[in-house]
Amino acid sequence: MSDLATILIDGVSIGSVYALLALGIVLVFMVSGVLNFAQPATIALGAFGVAALHQVGVPFGFAVLTAAAVAGAVNAALDVLLVQRFQRRGEVLAASIMTVGLSVVLLTAFQARIGAQILPVGDPFGSSVTRVDGITIAHARIAAVTVALLLLGGLYLLIRRTTFGLHLRAAADDREAARLVGVHSGRISMVVWAASGLLAVIGGTLLAAYPSAGVSSGAADIAMRALPAALIGGLASTSGAVVGGLLVGLTEATFLQYQSSLQFLGTGFATVAPYAVMLVIIVLRPRGLLGSQEVHRA
């Protein structure tokens, strides 16, 4: 029983962070049709930015805001200067491949800066934990799930209840038709790219908080799980991103919990288990769990 509770608590708390990261990819894909392969690199670099600011004594909240603002601005500039240029020429696929090049640059920058260091992000929760019925809950994880839920809820309201959200859904549905009825699709795509940069920084920071030791060179690999999370749920579905993120988190937590009895799979299988789950899901449902016709619009 306590095993199950641990798995649920760990899985849901880390899974909600993956959901945020996946959402950054899904939103961009919905609105601009571009699969942003550079999102994991942005996540890693964003967390590094927060940690680096912490190193020089910047308070945590301010560090996160600064890094998020920078990432958002850079992403918005990317969209306006590069992605939309590709779009005007009808080369959406080239834009996606362009993000692979971008990812190479960002990952190199990250690896060159981080080296062999492990930098704490300096969140106020430290390594404090609460014990309930023999189950250990890290405060940083409680904070992570709270922040993730607030952001997810906020995004839901933004997309479903505001004029901007209506425009966003219109642009995601049919860009040209949306333009014809006066939706400024360029501005929407810029805002969405900026938001995905912001989500990357916040998510990356939450990933690097306790029980993780901090930002290390492995952060890029962990951030890479945003891609399976996005694909498991279905690339063009926001609720799919949440489902995918939770599934990745729960898988990871399950394999971590039963690691000792799963030795035959090799040490450290928990880190690659989400990919195994993803493989199974893709074989069964190539378009993801919640993906439907939507995916065709690529």
Partner 1 sequence: MRERGRSLLVPVLAVVVLVVVPAFLPRFWLDLGALSFATAVGAVGLTVLFGRLGQLSLGHSFFVAVGAYAYIGLSSPAGVPGTVGLGLSPLLAAVCACLVAGLASLCFSPVSGRVKGLYLGIATLPLVFLGNHVALVWQSLTGGFSGRDVPALAVGGTTLVGPNTEFVVGGGLTITPDQILWYFTGAVLTIVVLVTTVILRGRTGRAFAAVRASEIHAQALGIPIAAMRSIGFAYAGLLAGLAGVLLALVDQRVVPDFWGLSLSLSFLVMIILGGVGSLPGAVVGAAIVTVVPPVLQQYGGSLPGISDPTTAASTAQYLYGALVIAILLVEPGGAVGLWSRLRRALARRRGFGDAAPVPVQSAPAAATPREVARTLGPTVRP
User: Out of 55, 91, 117, 132, which residue is the one contacting partner 1 (CB under 8 A)?
Assistant: 91
User: Out of 61, 85, 146, 161, which residue is the one contacting partner 1 (CB under 8 A)?
Assistant: 85
- Residue 255 in contact with partner 1, rule: CB under 8 A: no
Query: Rule CB under 8 A: which of 144-183 touch partner 1?
Result: 175-176
Rounded to 5 degrees, φ, ψ at 169 are -65, -35
Residues 108-127: x where in contact with partner 1 by CB under 8 A, - otherwise, as a string: xx-xx---------------
Query: Rule CB under 8 A: which of 220-249 touch partner 1?
Result: 221, 224, 227-228, 230-231, 235
CB 196 to partner 1: min, Å: 16
CB 137 to partner 1: min, Å: 29
- Residue 98 in contact with partner 1, rule: CB under 8 A: yes
CB 153 to partner 1: min, Å: 27
d(CA 229, CA 278): 8
CB 60 to partner 1: min, Å: 29
CB 104 to partner 1: min, Å: 4
- Residue 102 in contact with partner 1, rule: CB under 8 A: yes
Query: Rule CB under 8 A: which of 12-41 touch partner 1?
Result: 35, 37
d(CA 233, CA 296): 15
Site size with partner 1, rule: CB under 8 A: 53
- Residue 96 in contact with partner 1, rule: CB under 8 A: yes
**Segment contacting partner 1 by CB under 8 A, of 52-60, 79-87, 187-195, 242-250:** 79-87
Nearest to 244 by CA among 210, 291, 293, 209: 291
Tokens of 47: 């967390």
User: Out of 4, 73, 93, 150, which residue is the one contacting partner 1 (CB under 8 A)?
Assistant: 93
- Residue 266 in contact with partner 1, rule: CB under 8 A: yes
- Residue 59 in contact with partner 1, rule: CB under 8 A: no
Tokens of 171: 């642009």
Residues making contact with partner 1 (CB under 8 A): 35, 37, 82, 85-86, 90-98, 100-109, 111-112, 175-176, 221, 224, 227-228, 230-231, 235, 265-269, 271-272, 275-276, 278-279, 282-283, 286-287, 295, 297-298
